Amino acid sequence: MRPFAQFALAGCLLAATGTAHADEAKFLQSFKGNFAGKGIVKVTTDAPTVNVSCTFKSNATSTSLALDGNCRGLIVVTRAISADLKAAGAKYSGTYVGSRTGPAQLNGSRSGNAINLGIRWAKDVNGDRKAQMKVEKTGENGIRLTVVDTDPKTGKSIVTSRIDLRRT
């Protein structure tokens, strides 16, 4: 009876893994499409907030997500922004481009409707190379992109960018 119990447990674990992979693929593909929206950006934790308007194209497969966009602020300033993520189960890794310091490394995991990522900047930003990014599904047709960094003077977490996008 014992070998049967081990076989049954192994079968259950394989079935659960397959379901988790299918759920992750469905989650990633829900980001696919064109999006536009508005938000705020701070170049540093103590810089003034700049209102931005953004457009993004999102491509997704069962194991990857690519967000490519442009944000415009102060009428004449435009910056290209992109994040390319690869999924291995609920774990994610990839690259973020859009910072003035160069490409940043992303690593994290999914929790519910959000991918929570640690950022490793190419150079120091706000006194270190670390920050957090959240790529969050908001309803059926929305995405919220949030970056939080630590203020080196106070130690408090500061939202340095938050962009709310809707499918167009």
The CA distance from 49 to 78, in Å, is 15
Instruction: Say whether pLDDT at 58 is over 90.
Output: yes
- Helix locations, the chain, DSSP H: 2-29
The CA distance from 26 to 147, in Å, is 25
User: Tens of pLDDT along 67-86?
Assistant: 999 999 976 678 889 999 99
Q: What is the pLDDT, as a whole number, of residue 75?
A: 67
For residue 18, give its domain range.
Answer: 2-167
Question: Which CATH number characterizes residue 135's domain?
Answer: 2.40.128.20
What's the pTM value of the predicted model, to 2 decimals? Answer: 0.84
- How far apart, in Å, do the first and last CA atoms of the chain sit? 57
Domain total in the chain:
1
Sign for the CA dihedral angle at 110, 24, 137, 167 comes to positive
> Residue 98 — very low, low, confident or very high, per pLDDT cuts 50/70/90?
confident
